[in-house]
Amino acid sequence: MEIETKPNFKFINSMWENDYYSIHDKMYIATDCIIFGFDEGVLKLLIFKRKVQPDEGKFSLIGSFVKLNESVSSAANRVLEETTGLKNVFMQELKTYNAVDRDLGFRCISIGQYALIRIEDYDKDLVEKYGAMWYTFDELPDLVLDHNLMVKDAIARLRRKARYQPIGFELLPEKFTLPQLQSLYEAIYQREMDSRNFRKKVLSFGVLIKLEEKDKTSSKKGAFYYKFDNKKYNELLSKGINFEV
Amino acid sequence: MEIETKPNFKFINSMWENDYYSIHDKMYIATDCIIFGFDEGVLKLLIFKRKVQPDEGKFSLIGSFVKLNESVSSAANRVLEETTGLKNVFMQELKTYNAVDRDLGFRCISIGQYALIRIEDYDKDLVEKYGAMWYTFDELPDLVLDHNLMVKDAIARLRRKARYQPIGFELLPEKFTLPQLQSLYEAIYQREMDSRNFRKKVLSFGVLIKLEEKDKTSSKKGAFYYKFDNKKYNELLSKGINFEV
DNA sequence: CCAAAAGTGTTGAAATTACACCCATGT
DNA sequence: ACATGGGTGTAATTTCAACACTTTTGG
């Protein structure tokens, strides 16, 4: 895009508004969140049942219009917090949905963003109050507009991205066990993995810190907790390390 | 996003315009093209020197505002054709540039798109007439606004993408030789590759068709032309094949 | 005949896959 | 004592990286 950065005078701005900008079109901008969660070995998606017109009663992704004084990711974080109580969610731009006729009559471009949240973290009351709910990923209902397409794009991106970034860790609690991590990757890729090979691989990255504590909720023996070493991860990332599992 | 798809009545539309949409903000939408070309073993970028205000005389990517009745990629193709004569360019969305203050005073979101073109194809007259020019990639001048950032993001994406899609083929003529293809990949990755290993790898994908004809412009012996087998490529892509070179 | 680029195979190292048993503990 | 899930090592296979010479032909 080709707009001047320098002049600060209101006079010039308003001149532009008349001469340069104002001959162009303006549109509504929205953002929709494709939010994956992971719970009991199953990949889930956060969607909600609309309580107001238009489309009352239909299922939809969580989304919002973007305001003039906020960035797209601010808008997404705002609506996420309103709807689920979650703040500062790790979110990534997916792509824009900009077909001329994707809405009816009024041009609106939506910017899809996908998010990975720890399913234990969300505010259950808020989710209930606003009609948001977790759906098992491969039992999703029909969603409004092009939202099903967004979900399809997002899972494809998630799978590809998980190959070069340890993105899966974002879906787990602060402390997690290797069996949990493995079953997460199995959910993302929809295939079983060998536990010996999996452990070898993820530990070889050197970004996991083993804790003393054990999780005994899923076995008598208990599984050691690990946590993610952000510092080491950033070091490796800047060198272009490949995290394919 | 959450807008009704069904009702068709103007009455309802105008009701919405008042009640639902109109309380939201509208913005200018632009698109900017990060166009890579490949010529004489060197990776180049198409930029242009602005001939009108604002920013007259400064270097910029080629871009345009998006109109109400066109998609983002239509807008990009329109401006590309106006500026270089090129039609139907393979183009991919990069990301949105949506910082609230990326322009001055008037909110404008730009959608970056990167393109790969065969440098032989462009219309030289149009390029000259409009002030567009090819710059060697690692000798780029300063560009307006956040355009340098866009270029940085685009080359990173190009390198990553070339790992799982044979994207590089788009940068070459219909018929190309393996030495040409190799030197393209060397330009993208900025490192030398072993010709024996390179040939083994790209031929193993099974998406190249060897032609009888030879290119004798760069050696006495001549190098066989190959062409790209789109049909086979699409078959493989749907199975999720990895094209890392 | 020679310069200049095209084309071709092999070998060792590294990474990936396949595979089966013991461990710790709560009941 | 036993059922349950956690944890570990090794060998076969595949993939990757390094490496040098012969071929063709226009000048």
Tokens of B235: 């078959």
Q: Which letter does DSSP use for residue A18 in this model? A: I
Beta-carbon separation of A29 and B32 below 8 A: no
The band of B16, judged by pLDDT with boundaries at 50, 70 and 90, is very low
DSSP helix/strand/coil, B155: helix
Question: Cα dihedral sign for B190, B95, A190, A214?
Answer: positive
Q: Provide the CA B184 to C1' C13 distance, Å, integer.
A: 28
Is strand D in 7 Å reach of the CB of A7?
A: no
Give the start-to-end residue ranges of the domains of chain B: 28-157, 167-238
HSE, side-chain direction, 13 A CA sphere, residue A227 = 8
Sheet containing A223-228, strands listed edge to edge, beginning at the edge strand earlier in sequence: A176-177, A223-228, A208-215
**Mean pLDDT calculated for residue range A48-68:** 83
CA A8 to chain centre: 37
The CA distance from B120 to A4, in Å, is: 32
3-state helix, strand and coil shares in percent for chain B, rounded to the nearest 5? 35, 25, 40
DSSP helix/strand/coil, B38: strand
Q: Decide whether A28-157 matches A167-238 in CATH topology.
A: no
**The predicted structure's pLDDT at residue B238:** 65
**Mean pLDDT calculated for residue range A46-73:** 84
CB < 8 Å & 24+ apart, contacts of B9-16: B13/A104, B13/A105, B13/A106, B16/A54, B16/A105, B16/A106
Task: Strand C: list protein residues with Cβ under 7 Å.
Answer: A 194-197, 200-201, 216, 220-222, 244; B 177-179, 194-197, 199-200, 218-224
Q: Which letter does DSSP use for residue A106 in this model? A: S
Of the candidates B148, B109, B113, B145, which has an alpha carbon nearest to the alpha carbon of residue B30?
B109
The CA distance from B145 to B172, in Å, is: 31
**The predicted structure's pLDDT at residue B17:** 45
CA B50 to chain centre: 20
Is it the case that residue A105 has pLDDT exceeding 50? yes
Give the tens place of pLDDT for each residue, B143-187.
888 999 999 999 888 877 776 667 666 667 788 889 888 888 887
Q: Which stretches within chain A are classed as H helix?
A: 10-16, 72-84, 124-130, 147-161, 178-189, 195-204, 230-238
Nucleotide nearest to A196 (CA to C1'): D8
Of the candidates A215, A207, A27, which has an alpha carbon nearest to the alpha carbon of residue A120?
A215
The CA distance from A25 to B65, in Å, is: 8
**The predicted structure's pLDDT at residue A178:** 92
The band of A12, judged by pLDDT with boundaries at 50, 70 and 90, is very low
DSSP helix/strand/coil, B137: helix
If residue B188 lies in a helix (H) or strand (E), which one and from where to where? helix B178-189
Give the tens place of pLDDT for each residue, B214-224.
988 778 999 99
Q: Which of A29, A63, A99 lies closest to B27 in CB terms?
A: A29
**Mean pLDDT calculated for residue range A136-147:** 86
Nucleotides of C under 7 A from a protein CB: 3-10, 16-20, 23-26
Residue B53 near residue B140 (C-beta atoms within 8 A): no
The CA distance from A91 to A80, in Å, is: 11
The structure's pTM equals 0.75
Say how many C-beta atoms besides its own lie within 10 A of residue A61's C-beta. 27
DSSP helix/strand/coil, B147: helix
Is it the case that residue B11 has pLDDT exceeding 80? no
Nearest chain B residue to A11, by CA: B105
Nearest chain B residue to A50, by CA: B2
The band of B2, judged by pLDDT with boundaries at 50, 70 and 90, is very low
Beta-carbon separation of A67 and B24 below 8 A: yes
Residues of B in contact with A22 (CB under 8 A): none
Is strand D in 7 Å reach of the CB of B220?
A: yes
Name the residue with higher pLDDT: A80 or B210: B210
A 197-236: CB within 7 Å of strand D: 197, 199-200, 218-224
Domain A167-238 falls under CATH 1.10.10.10: yes
**The predicted structure's pLDDT at residue B223:** 93
Is it the case that residue B44 has pLDDT exceeding 90? no
Greatest mean pLDDT among A10-14, A177-181, B230-234: A177-181
DSSP helix/strand/coil, B114: strand
Q: Which fold has domain A28-157?
A: Nucleoside Triphosphate Pyrophosphohydrolase (3.90.79)
Give the tens place of pLDDT for each residue, A212-237.
999 887 788 999 999 988 888 877 76
The CA distance from A113 to B229, in Å, is: 34
**Mean pLDDT calculated for residue range A20-45:** 81
The CA distance from B185 to B193, in Å, is: 8
